[in-house]
Every structure is written in C-alpha cells, then in structure tokens.
Structure 1
Amino acid sequence: MDFITVSNSALWIIVILQSIVIYALTRQVGVLFERVAPAGALAINQTIEVGAVAPNLALQSLASTLVDVGGKSKNNKSQLLFFVSPDCPVCKTLLPALKSAAKAEQSWIDLILASDGKQQDHAGFVKQYELSEYPYIVSELLGKSYGVAKLPYGVVIDEMGKIASMGIINSREHLDSLFEAKERNVASIQAYMQKDQHNEEKFVEVK
C-alpha cells in the first residue's frame, strides 16, 4: 500500500469522525436551545392575576378624550395596556416594535399607552416618538390598580374584560408572548412550556 493510498484513507477516516462529532454537537445545541428558549414576559404581579376581571376605569387621555380601560369591549376587541415612561430607556427602545405589533394585530386588539408623573413632558414624548394615534393616559391610579411596579409592563385584557396575559416587556419576543399566551389560554408562556414539558414526560416510551 503506497503513501498516497494511506493518506487518502486517513483523510476519509478524519472526515467521517468530524461528521460524527458535528452531528453530535448539533444535537446537543438543539437540546440546549430548548432548555434556554425565550421564556416570554415575566408575569410578576401581586395585585391582579390572569383570569381575573380587569379593573374597569374611565380615564382622560392626554388628548382630552375619555378612555375606558377594562370592562366588556364595545367593539369586540381586546386591549393591550402598555405602561411606559418618558425617562425609561428600555421603553423608548421598544416603541418601534410596539407600534409595529399594534398595527399588525389591530384587527383584534387596541393599544392603550399608560404612564404617570405629571411633572414629566408626556406631550413632548408623544410627539417625539409619534404616538398620537394611540390613547395616552397619565394616571397614577391606573398603574396602582394594575399592580405595575416595573417598566415597561404590558397587560392584555380580553374582549370580556378579563386579564388574559401580562408581564414585564424587554423585547419584541416578550410582547409577542403576551399575544401567544392569550391565544393558548395560559397564564404565561412559562406556564405553557412547563405544561408542554409535563405532557412530554407523561408520554415517554417505556421500554
């Protein structure tokens, strides 16, 4: 057996071993991704809970219109109550994604922006980030009624006036998780993932 034949055989063995290693790593990465998959918006709240009737308030917006928050919907649409602040950097970063989501989902949900702190320049904030097409409510009572402690925070109220989902929103994925949780009728995506994992464990094949 000459040198070239030996070299080719060795190269083929190396290629095969590399393929096996890459395949094994790919499987491990897939398993790891499932374990650390985005958990969705973190639903921390000590005042309200998913499934409960949402606090029903009639409040004046920055544009001096009366806005009904909560209660049975008059247009058969849900509400996304999104709490922001002019001095919240994360809120500002999320606004483009929030407006995009509001337009994409406008057939079934209405966006309502909420804030507090009368000393802040809310009008300037609305103008700078082009938020005038959405109701913008400045009310400390609203934040307290919905148990909002951290920003940005989102609450989805279904068409029957009940809390469908809620949580701290730090990304577009977190925002989408609120919609997904409502659609799947679960308290949060975390709860759905835990339920799904439990079901998978129940159906593990016994050998």
Structure 2
Amino acid sequence: MSPLVFAVIVLWAALFALAVVIFALTRQIGILYERIAPVGALVNDSGPKIGEATPIFELSSLTGGSVSIGAHGARSTVVFFLSTTCPICKKMIPVLRSVQIAEASWLDVVLASDGDENKHRAFIEKAGLAVFPYVLSANLGLTYRVQKIPFAVLIDGDGIVRAKGLINNREHLESLFTAAETANSTIQTFEESSALLRA
C-alpha cells in the first residue's frame, strides 16, 4: 500500500470518528437542554399571595398624575421596586423600556420605591425615567414584603396578584408573564407540571 493511499484511509477514518463525536455531543446537549429548566424569578411567600386580591393603592407619581395599583380595570400592571443606588435596577431600566413598548396593549409598568423625594427626582432625570409612573410609598413595599430589590409584582385587571419575584434580568421579568399566561404561580411550577405530563 502506498503512503498516499494509507494517508487517505487515515483521513477518512479520522473524519468518520469526528462525525461520531459531533453526533454524540449534539445528543448530549439535547438531553441537557431537556433536563435544565429555565430559571424564573425567585418568589417570596410573604405578602399577598399569588391568586389573591391585592390591596388598592392610590398614589401620586413623581412624573406627574396619580397611579392606581390594584384597582379593577382592563389592563394589567407590573409594579417594579427599585432603588437609586441599586446597580441591577439601573441595568434593568432598558429592559423595562423595551417591555413597556412591547407589551403596551395590555400592560402598564409602574416604578416604585421609598426614601428621599429629591434623590428620586434627580434619579428620574438622570436615568430618563419620565416615561414611567414613579411612586414613593414605604407602605407599598411593606404590603408586598419586598426584602430585596429589584422586585416585581404582576397584577391583573381584576386586582389579583398573578406573579411576583426577585428580578435580575429580562428572563426573570418575562417569567412572570409566562407564569401568569399559563395559570401557574411560578415558571418552576409550570415546568414541574409539564414534566409530569411528559412522564
């Protein structure tokens, strides 16, 4: 056998082995994808529970007008709790702008915090938050037992809490919408029920 023929045979064998390895890796990635559930917002069990009516709040907005949270109406509301000094909250501002536009047909986005009004007015101006209703209310945070921020609560048009949780990225925020759409308290319970149906 000539060296050239031998080299061609070795190359074809190597190519076949490489194809087998790629196929095996692709299969493993598919298996991992099925096993790893999407991570949703971390839900706290205190405050108004999911499926319960929320207390109604009538609050003045620092960006003008008044805000009604929990009142009956045709639209849902996501109340996003933030702080002027929270870096993750600042990272979420472009996400909130995007969500406000994308979900404008059914959802209102309300920003909520507490503390010194002047600091918040400066924050609104610096971060360009005039497009959002922005309320200051320690009682609002206490009602929902907000312990860490950023935190969001999704309330439907009937004043019912549909989803809530700690929000660190866009996927966490969208997991609230998914949980509400699928009538599950959290995205995790949705995944668990889906796994049971597949079993």
TM-score relative to the length of structure 2:
0.94
SS of the equivalent of 1:121 reads helix
Q: Which runs of 5+ in 1 are unaligned?
A: 202-207
Distance in 1 between residues matched to 2:146 and 2:120, nearest whole Å: 18
Conserved in 2, the CA contact under 8 Å of 1:114 and 1:137? yes
Q: Given that residues 43 and 167 in structure 1 are in contact (C-alpha distance below 8 angstroms), is that contact kept between their aligned partners in structure 2?
A: yes
Q: Is the 8 A contact 1:86 1:120 kept in 2?
A: no
Work out the number of aligned pairs and report it. 199
Match of 1:205 in 2: none
Tell me by how many angstroms 1:80 deviates: 0.7
Matches for 1:104-119 after TM superposition, within 5 Å: 104-118=102-116
Specify the alignment match of 1:39 in structure 2.
39
| Kept in 2: contact 1:45–1:148 (CA 8 A) | no
Q: Displacement, 1:72?
A: 1.1
- 1:2 deviates by 2.5
SS at match of 1:67: strand
Match of 2:24 in 1: 24
Q: What are the superposed Cα offsets for residues 10-40 of structure 1, whole Å, 9 maximum, x if unpaired?
A: 2111111111111111111222233334311
Say which is worse superposed, 8-17 or 28-37, in terms of deviation: 28-37
Give the C-alpha shift of residue 118 in structure 1.
2.5
Residue 170 of structure 2 aligns with an amino acid whose one-letter code is R
SS class of match (2:132): coil
2:93 aligned partner: 95
Percent identity of paired positions between Structure 1 and Structure 2: 39
Work out whether residues 55 and 146 of structure 1, in 8 Å CA contact, stay in contact via their aligned partners in 2: no
Distance in 2, Cα, partners of 1:165 & 1:82: 12
| Superposition deviation, residue 179 in structure 1 | 1.3
Structure 2 unpaired stretches of 5+: none
Deviations 1:99-135 (A, max 9, x none): 1111110110011110011266000111111111221
Which deviates more, 151-160 or 51-60?
Answer: 51-60
1:136 and 1:185 map into 2 onto residues whose CA distance is: 28
Matches of 1:45 and 1:113, distance apart in 2 = 22
What is the rounded CA distance, in whole Å, between the counterparts of 2:190 and 2:98 in structure 1? 25
Corresponding residue to 2:138 among 137, 140, 143: 140
Give the aligned partner of residue 54 of structure 2. Answer: 54
- 1:146, distance to aligned residue in structure 2 (A): 1.1
RMSD between aligned residues:
1.5
Range with bigger deviation, 63-72 or 9-18: 63-72
